[in-house]
Amino acid sequence: MDGTDGFDGPVLGPHWSTLRRPAGPDWLSLTERPSHLRLHGGRSPQSLIGPSLVARRLTAARCSFEATMEYRPGTFQHLAGITAYYNTANWYYLHVTADDAGEPVLRVAACDRGRLSVDEAGQTRLGGTTRLRLGLDVDGADLRFRHDTGSGWEPFGPTLDATVLSDEHAEHIEDGRIRSLGFTGAFAGLWAWDLTGGGHHADFDEVTYRSGH
């Protein structure tokens, strides 16, 4: 379903899914800040329990996903942003975090069959910007991120391989035998990490999904 969710209702809409965690008040709230979805940061993808991920299925080979986020990271262990997600081993993540000096930066992390990479060379300092819009576009085998800090959309980072998010890529074959099958399909979503365990929160608003664009 295309459209925009401003999080004005008391519960998440039926198009949203969470990952191995019921949508409960211990990590997710639609009332702490009215007309926003507040996510308290969860564990990293390496942990199979406690992720703070709210996502919706990608329904077309060409589609876009956008969200407004307000976030103030206090440490490099605080991360929040949008993700193109298949499973814990295959995803892309456009996120805000703090650099070694404690300054907020926007950067891309990727995981391909469990191999994690972070594009620190391509990160951008945000200065005093705490509210910004993040977007991604999928066009067949290509995925591109973009961002808007108030002066219009700008591309962010290189063109990425969207086939990392496919069922075929997620298959694990060892010694000629299939050890695991890919079957979940790709999602786009909102993701908050707090690797300190403190549940540092991010606020999201006006999430828009469009297919066939």
Q: What is the CATH number of the domain that holds 28?
A: 2.60.120.200
Number of compact structural domains in the chain: 1
Determine how many CB atoms are found less than 10 A away from the CB of residue 147.
Answer: 23
Contact between 162 and 110 under an 8 Å Cβ cutoff? The reply is no
Q: Give dist(CA 34, CA 9) in Å, integer.
A: 9
User: pTM for this structure?
Assistant: 0.92
pLDDT band at 181 (very low <50, low <70, confident <90, very high): very low
pLDDT band at 176 (very low <50, low <70, confident <90, very high): low
In the chain, pLDDT over 90 holds for what percent of residues? 77
**Average pLDDT for 68-81:** 97
Contact between 146 and 136 under an 8 Å Cβ cutoff? The reply is yes
pLDDT band at 178 (very low <50, low <70, confident <90, very high): low
pLDDT(173) > 80: no
Q: Give dist(CA 189, CA 108) in Å, integer.
A: 15
Domain span at 163:
3-211
Q: Give dist(CA 188, CA 15) in Å, integer.
A: 11
CA-nearest of 147, 129, 141, 16 to 81 is 147
Mean per-residue pLDDT of the chain: 91
Bridge partners, 85 (sequence order): 91, 187
Q: Give dist(CA 48, CA 141) in Å, integer.
A: 28
Among the listed ranges 47-51, 101-105, 133-137, which one has the minimum average pLDDT value?
Answer: 47-51
Predicted confidence at residue 182, as pLDDT, reads 44
pLDDT tens digit sequence for 118-164: 998 899 999 999 999 999 999 999 999 999 999 999 999 999 999 99
Q: Give dist(CA 127, CA 122) in Å, integer.
A: 16
pLDDT(175) > 90: no
pLDDT(75) > 60: yes
Determine how many CB atoms are found less than 10 A away from the CB of residue 52.
Answer: 23
pLDDT(90) > 70: yes
Structure-model confidence comparison of residues 38 and 179, the more confident one = 38
pLDDT(183) > 70: no
In the chain, pLDDT over 70 holds for what percent of residues? 92
